[in-house]
Amino acid sequence: MGFAEKISAFVNEALGVSFEEMAIQIISTVILFLVVRYFFWEKVTNYLETRHQEMTENYQEAEVTKKASEDLKKEAESELINIKESASEKYNQAKVRGEEKRKEIVDEAKKDAKKIIANAHKEVDSMVEKAKAEINDEIVSVATLMAEKIIEKEIDETKHKQWIEQATSEVMKS
């Protein structure tokens, strides 16, 4: 047995394929490779290269978009913080203005109340003076009336006291 026959027997035993079939398969594969290389290789590599470039561009665009969205997010968060601070500041200012307005209203109400009380006191004092004047007038008229009656009649001291008490009670009733 020659060398080629030993290889054929070994391949047949190990793989279950004859040497001739294996040789035909190898030759077919080489021919197929050469045909693909000659007719299709450039088209396939161009397609793969184009696809690679598209994927690279898409990845770069995605990175740029991701960075832009992160920047927008940071900007929006910063703006939100500024808005919150501004709103808080405006709230505090409004609170201070409200407190000042409340104090003004309370102070004005106190002043008005003091004026009303002072006017009431003046009115009461005026009424008291008027009442005193009326009482004096009544006392004078009563005294005059009593003097007339005393002059008309001579009366004793007990009757005099009765008339004074009677006149006083009449003044009190009026």
Could you tell me the residue ranges of all domains in the chain? 3-131
Please give the C-alpha separations between residue 61 and each of 64, 66, 71, 76, in angstroms, as whole numbers.
5, 8, 15, 22
HSE at residue 145, side-chain half, CA atoms within 13 A, is 13
Tens-place pLDDT, residues 101-122: 999 999 999 999 999 999 998 9
Question: Averaged over 159-169, what is the pLDDT?
Answer: 75
Please, what is the average pLDDT of the chain? Answer: 85
Distance of CA 51 to the CA centre of its chain: 53
Q: Which of 6-10, 36-40, 72-76, 147-151 has the lowest mean pLDDT?
A: 147-151
pTM score, whole prediction: 0.40
Question: Averaged over 40-63, what is the pLDDT?
Answer: 91
- Which tokens hold the place of 147? 């003097």
Please enumerate, as own/partner, the contacts of 82-87 that have beta carbons within 8 Å and a separation of 24 or more: none
Distance CA 26, CA 30 (A): 6
- Which tokens hold the place of 84? 């919150």
Helix (H) / strand (E) containing 52: helix 41-152
